[in-house]
Chain A
Amino acid sequence: MERNMAVPFVLDKALILDRLGGDEEIFAMMVGMFVQDVDRNCETLATALASGDATELRREAHTVKGLLATFSDEAGAAEASIVEQLARDGHVADQAEAVAGLQQRLREIAAVLSAG
């Protein structure tokens, strides 16, 4: 089961700000938290995969989906959604590559946000 995040992440700050009612302060807080938490979120995903527990992987993929959606990464959120749905059907071990893809996406976004 091989999937690649085909579309590179592009920060659409205007869209995110529009959703936050133009509040730069909240946007800055979220960016700071995302960057700060990225390693922990990647680790949590890895731990869920390693546990072999489909429920745990489903929940973590769901959390990542929400995180990516918060930064308007529709492509990334769609990939996380697939992992979540497959985990709901009991798939864990065969999702290693997809999980690695999500981790990579999280780090990619963190890098873009940090540079931003």
Chain B
Amino acid sequence: MHNVLIIDDSDINLALIKALVLKLGDCSPTLFDHPLAALEWCRSNVPDLVIVDYMMPDMDGLRFISAFRALHGRNEIPVLMITANDQKDVRYDALLGGANDFLIKPIDRIEFSARARNMLSLRTGQKYLADRAEHLSALVDERTAEIREREKELIFRISRAAEFRDPETGAHIQRMAHYSQIIALGLDLSLDQQKLILEAAPMHDVGKIGIPDYILLKPGKLTHEEFEVMKGHAKLGHELLKDSRSEVIQAGAEVAISHHEKYDGTGYPYGLKGHQIPLFGRIVAVADVFDALTSERPYKRAWSLDDACKYLEDGRGKHFDPMCIEAFLAGWEHVLDIRQRFRDEDVPLI
């Protein structure tokens, strides 16, 4: 059903046009004898066709069209202007001012029907295209979300592949990723950045894939040479992830290369200091160390929460960015919740 808006200050013209519109079929006319009242109605209603007289009190048809076109979403709606036979200049102004076509008084039914139908066909086409564009946009969103989910899954599986070669567990990457998010929240990073670090943090140790088993799985203390090889996992991880078009993988590359840097410049691989270290690297450093300390490993017992917190406090400004420590401790209740949610014994597969 097409909603046809008719505006004319003459009752007889309103009645005539209404009757002609009803003869078109599948149309519902809405009548106004005053253009300002019609304009008000148009603020909350969207007609499919506007038929407007030229000469009316307070606001002529040209000014009405201009005001109507200025309303949001009304730019494409077909408008027919009614003019007298001797108003050629008005018809030109109407066409230039946003009318799609015009009708000449006295109105001829055949001419009226043809022009009104043409305008309604135009409107039907516009609606079809708009619906199709909306449908396609929704489809693109859906497919993009699917790809993003697949990307997340692949990142998690790659991260776990590295963890499988390591005494650390799947639950470790879940916990340290969520701790990283807590710190990002405490630092007032945007929701997008919080989500990004949650997804990127699991990739911090992906470079361990390239470390030989005799070093990675060695139960005792590493020799100086072995430790140098082990330190290479930061660069290996970066090498593996860099130059990706994915924002998450780019962030993962940054985390991989920088999460062993220390605030005072004594970390590796580059010995960066303070804010030379990327923020995500400073955040993940806190999250990763805290979880490593408080987790049990074949070669060590889990530290108590108090001891782990003391370690972080002692490392403030040395190993760790003081702001990241503040943010982590400020989210302590969330930290405890995350420890409960992701236990070593019940590792979620994904």
Binary interface encoding of chain A residues 53-68 relative to chain B, with 1 for a CB under 8 A from any of its CBs, else 0: 0000001001101110
A59 to B12, CA, bound (A): 16
What residues make up the interface of A, taking CB atoms closer than 8 Å to B? 19-21, 23, 25-26, 29-30, 33-34, 37, 59, 62-63, 65-67, 69-70, 72, 81
Pair B55/A26 contact, Cβ less than 8 Å: no
Identity of the chain A residue whose Cβ is nearest the Cβ of B109 in the assembled complex? A21
Name the B residues within 8 Å of A25 (CB-CB): 19
Q: Among the listed A21, A29, A65, A72, which residue makes an inter-chain contact with B84, where contact means beta carbons less than 8 Å apart?
A: A65
Q: Among the listed B11, B85, B109, B113, which residue makes an inter-chain contact with A69, where contact means beta carbons less than 8 Å apart?
A: B85
Name the A residues within 8 Å of B56 (CB-CB): 59
- 6 A-B pairs with the lowest CB-CB distances in the bound complex, closest first: A21-B109, A69-B106, A70-B106, A33-B12, A62-B55, A26-B19
Instruction: State which residues 1-59 of B face A: CB under 8 Å.
Output: 9-13, 15-16, 19-20, 23, 55-57
Q: Given A59-B57, A65-B84, A81-B86, does the pair A70, B105 have CB atoms closer than 8 Å?
A: yes
Q: Given A59-B57, A62-B84, A65-B84, does the pair A19, B108 have CB atoms closer than 8 Å?
A: yes
A30 to chain B, nearest CB (A): 6
Name the B residues within 8 Å of A67 (CB-CB): 10, 12
Binary interface encoding of chain B residues 259-285 relative to chain A, with 1 for a CB under 8 A from any of its CBs, else 0: 000000000000000000000000000
A33 to B15, CA, bound (A): 9
B107 touches A (CB below 8 Å): yes
Pair A70/B16 contact, Cβ less than 8 Å: yes
Name the A residues within 8 Å of B96 (CB-CB): none
Pair A63/B55 contact, Cβ less than 8 Å: yes
B110 touches A (CB below 8 Å): yes
A63 to B113, CA, bound (A): 23
Pair A34/B85 contact, Cβ less than 8 Å: no
In the assembled complex, 25 residue pairs joining A and B whose CB atoms fall closer than 8 Å, in A order, are A19-B106, A20-B109, A21-B109, A21-B110, A26-B19, A29-B16, A30-B16, A33-B11, A33-B12, A34-B12, A37-B11, A59-B55, A62-B55, A63-B9, A63-B55, A65-B84, A66-B13, A66-B84, A66-B105, A67-B12, A69-B85, A70-B12, A70-B13, A70-B107, A81-B84
Q: Among the listed B10, B19, B109, which residue makes an inter-chain contact with A66, where contact means beta carbons less than 8 Å apart?
A: B10
Knowing that A26-B16, A67-B12 are A-B contacts, what are 6 other residue pairs whose CB atoms are under 8 Å apart, sorted by A's residue number? A19-B107, A30-B16, A34-B12, A66-B10, A69-B84, A81-B86
A37 to B16, CA, bound (A): 14
Name the A residues within 8 Å of B15 (CB-CB): 29-30, 33
Name the B residues within 8 Å of A23 (CB-CB): 19, 23, 109
Pair B105/A26 contact, Cβ less than 8 Å: no
